């Protein structure tokens, strides 16, 4: 991707990592990292190079692998925006600040990993409202958060009335969607012993606790699954506390 000018700012990626450098939400808009392994390597490199800096009060800027990276930390979340070495630093900084502030608004200033995972759908909507194919669409946090909240309200209104079968179908489709970067075969459900290691296993266990005809919130179901995938949620069935 060649250098851009002020009238056509280009973003290569936006990363939201936790305090250990693991993914929370990421979006790539450049072919500079053609494989998932290359993306993960870049994320690890960026995190390693910036994790010891003090970017909590104000955003900081660095040059890494011929890319400008602007970043800011809050609690156990690390926000990054990457652009080409010829990109306007102020534009990249405005994208970072817009993303950070919009997330803070949507999470009611509780900007931490657990809250982010519970509202991951909102964070991805934020990214969609901000950048399209690398082109910056919006950086005003109030505008971004407002549009996301409106979309979320419309989606929740329809999804909350879904039957069990429809909600499970929605969740299964979400798990199979490559754009979310979810390797949904990588977690294991344990309750005294390992009984499965697939996304569908978890959904099947949920299904056992509901009857057909029950209204089920598919958004909530997906959030449960995402939290399970990231390994920091509990699902209680009867007297058993099932840990993911």
**The residue count for the chain:** 244
Stated pTM of the model: 0.63
Please identify which residue in the block is written with the tokens 């909240």: 149
Helices 120-130 and 89-106 cross at an angle (nearest 10°) of 150
Query: Domains in the chain, please, with CATH?
Result: 13-152 (3.30.450.60), 160-243 (no CATH)
Which of 87, 86, 122 has the alpha carbon at shortest distance from 102? Answer: 122
Give the phi and the psi of residue 29 in degrees, each rounded to 5.
-120, 10
What is the number of alpha carbons within 13 Å of residue 186 lying toward its C-beta? 11
* Distances 167 to 55, 163, 173, 223, 242 between C-alpha atoms, Å: 41, 6, 10, 12, 22
Return per-residue pLDDT of the chain as tens, 244 residues: 334 444 566 899 999 999 999 999 999 999 999 999 999 999 999 999 998 888 888 899 999 989 999 999 998 999 999 999 989 999 999 999 999 999 999 888 888 998 888 888 889 989 999 999 999 999 999 999 888 877 765 555 444 444 445 555 545 544 444 333 333 333 333 322 223 344 455 555 555 544 444 434 444 555 455 444 444 333 333 333 333 3
């Amino acid at each position: 991707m060649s250098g851009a000018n002020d009238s056509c700012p280009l973003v290569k990626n936006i990363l939201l990592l936790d305090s250990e450098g693991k993914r929370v939400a990421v979006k790539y808009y450049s072919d500079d990292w053609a494989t998932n392994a290359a993306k993960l390597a870049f994320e690890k490199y960026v995190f390693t190079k910036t994790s010891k800096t003090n970017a909590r009060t104000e955003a900081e800027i660095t040059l890494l692998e011929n890319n400008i990276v602007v970043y800011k930390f809050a609690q156990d979340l690390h926000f990054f925006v990457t652009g080409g070495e010829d990109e306007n630093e102020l534009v990249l900084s405005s994208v970072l600040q817009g993303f950070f502030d919009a997330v803070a608004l949507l999470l009611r200033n509780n900007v931490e990993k657990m809250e982010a995972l519970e509202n991951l759908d909102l964070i991805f909507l934020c990214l969609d409202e901000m950048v399209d194919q690398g082109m910056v669409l919006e950086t005003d946090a109030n505008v971004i958060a407002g549009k996301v909240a409106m979309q979320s309200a419309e989606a929740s209104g329809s999804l909350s009335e879904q039957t069990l079968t429809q909600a499970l179908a929605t969740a299964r489709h979400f798990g199979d969607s490559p754009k979310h970067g979810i390797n949904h075969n990588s977690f294991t459900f344990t309750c005294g012993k390992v009984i499965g290691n697939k996304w569908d296993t978890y959904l099947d266990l949920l299904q056992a606790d509901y009857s057909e005809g029950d209204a089920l919130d598919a958004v909530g179901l997906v959030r449960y699954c995402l939290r399970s995938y990231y390994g920091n949620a509990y699902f209680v069935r009867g007297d058993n506390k099932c840990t993911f």
